Amino acid sequence: MFTWLKDKLFSTTPPEFNPAWESTLDQNLAVWHTLQERERSKLRQRIADFLDTKSFEGCNGLEVTQDMKLVIAAMACMLVVNSSAKAFPLCDTILVYPDKFTKTIKVPGPGGTIQEQQIIASGESWSALYGSASGGPVILSWRDVEAAAHGLTNGRNVVHHEFAHQLDALDGAMDGAPNLPDRTTAQEWRQVFTREYSHLRRDLAHRVPTFIHPYGATSPAEFFAVATEHYFANPAEFQARHPDLFTQLHAFYNPSETQSGSTS
C-alpha cells in the first residue's frame, strides 16, 4: 500500500525533465529564448527537482495546469540554478490565485497598538511574512505570474520576489541578508545593502526618480527581494546604475563564478 511513498522517500534516482516540457517553456517564458544551452541544461534539472518536491494548489476555483506549474518552477529555479544546495527547502506548497488577492497585515496603530489592515497583493511568502524559518507556502497571482513570464511587467516579477524571500529566510532571519558563505562576505553585503537602501529611502523622500522600485524602501527584506527582480530583469542597466549592489547579487546568485574568480 505504501510502496510508492517508500520509493519516493528513499529513491536516489533524480527526477527527469520531460522533453515535452521544452515547447511549453519556449512558448510561455520569454527569457527561455535568451538562455545559453549550458544554462538551460542546468535549469531543466532544477525544474524537474522543483516539480518533484513541491505541491501546487489552485485557489478561488483556479485549476493549476502542468503548463502553469512549469512556468512558475522555471522562474523560481532561475534564482538557484547556479547553486548546489537544495532548492527552497522551507517551501513545500505553492498556492495560486487567478488574480490579485486580499491579505491581512499588521501595522502600528495609535498608542503603540497593533492593528490589522487589508491589502491587495500579487504574492506572499509565509516564511517572509512571519519572519521565521519555520516554512510555509508561497502564494502567487497567476495573472501577475503570466505577465512577468511574457515580459509585460516592466521588470517586476512576483515569482522572483517571493522566492527571494524564501532564500532570505534560510538563515532564520528575514532581514534582507541571506545565508552568506563567510563573515567577510556578510560584512560587505551589509555595508552595500545598508547604503543602497538608505539612498533609496532618501531619494524617495526628496521625490527623486529612482531605478529601483519604490516598494524596495518598505524594509530591508523587501529591498533584497526587489533588487533581485531588477537583477534578473534588467541586469545591464542595473549594473550601470548600481554597480556595487549588482556585484553583491551577482556573487550571491553565481557562487561558482565567485569561487573560481571569474565574473564573466
Q: How far apart (Å, rounded) are the C-alpha atoms in residues 88 and 208?
A: 36
Whole-prediction pTM:
0.87
Are residue 37 and residue 142 in the same domain, yes or no? yes
- % pLDDT > 90, the chain: 71
For residue 2, the model assigns a pLDDT of: 42
Domain boundary among 120, 154, 188: 154
Q: What is the pLDDT of residues 168-191, one digit of tens each?
A: 999 888 899 999 999 999 999 999
Which of 154, 188, 214 lies at the terminal end of a domain, its last residue?
A: 154
pLDDT in tens, 27-71: 999 999 899 999 999 999 999 999 999 999 999 999 999 999 999
CA distances, 90 to each of 93, 123, 129, 167, 172 (Å): 9, 16, 13, 9, 11
- Report pLDDT for 12: 64
Q: Is 199 exposed, middle or buried (0-12, 13-18, 19+ CB in 10 A)?
A: middle
What's the average model confidence in pLDDT over 217-227?
A: 96
In a shared domain, residues 114 and 185: no
pLDDT value for 219: 94
Same domain, 55 and 129: yes
Per-residue pLDDT, 264:
31
Residues spanned by the domain of 104 = 1-154
Tally of domains within the chain? 2
